[in-house]
Amino acid sequence: MPLKTSEVEEPALNLTPMIDIVLLLVIFFMVGTQFTEHESQFEIVLPTVSDAQPLTSLPDEIVINVTKDGSIYLGSEPKTPAELEVDLREAKARYADQAVVIRGDQVGPYQHPMTVINICKRAKIKVIQLANKIEENGS
């Protein structure tokens, strides 16, 4: 007596979900192109700016040199304490986190760099660094 077996079903690929996704993508891109048309329907001439600065660049740190006789140099330009304070306040107004590096002479009195630090504090500069150099071992 032969056993009855059920017929083997052929595998079928259901394309309905794939067609639904493709149609949804087509609708999405059609709607997306409609938004770009609304944006460009107005003819606007944008203004030009001659000295625009990049938004992401950070300003360099300000280097203040203090000689052993107490002379103060902002970069290479000599400054009085009052002029230095004005310059630091302007730099602080331009960039809130302005950094200052103070390079004091090794053999000069400690008071001269401290005077510059005090000027920085009055100008509300919060990032102050004292420059130094690493001693090389001569052995």
pLDDT for 133: 78
Domain range annotation of the chain: 62-130
State pLDDT tens for residues 30-78. Answer: 887 766 555 555 565 656 666 655 555 667 888 898 888 888 998 888 9
Q: State how far the Cα of 139 lies from the Cα of 132, in Å rounded to an integer.
A: 21
What values do phi and psi take at 104, rounded to 5? -95, 145
Is CATH 3.40.630.40 correct for 62-130? Answer: no
Q: What is the mean pLDDT of residues 125-131?
A: 88
Per the model's pLDDT, the better-predicted residue between 41 and 96 turns out to be 96
* pTM summary value: 0.55
Instruction: Please say if the pLDDT value at position 8 is more than 60.
Output: yes
Q: How many residues appear in the chain?
A: 139
**Mean pLDDT score across all residues of the chain:** 81
> Checking DSSP bridges between strand 62-66 and strand 72-74, what pairing results, if any?
antiparallel
Say whether pLDDT at 138 is over 60: no
Give the distance from CA 85 to its chain's centroid.
26
pLDDT value, residue 84:
93
Angle at 45 between CA 42 and CA 48, to 5 degrees: 150
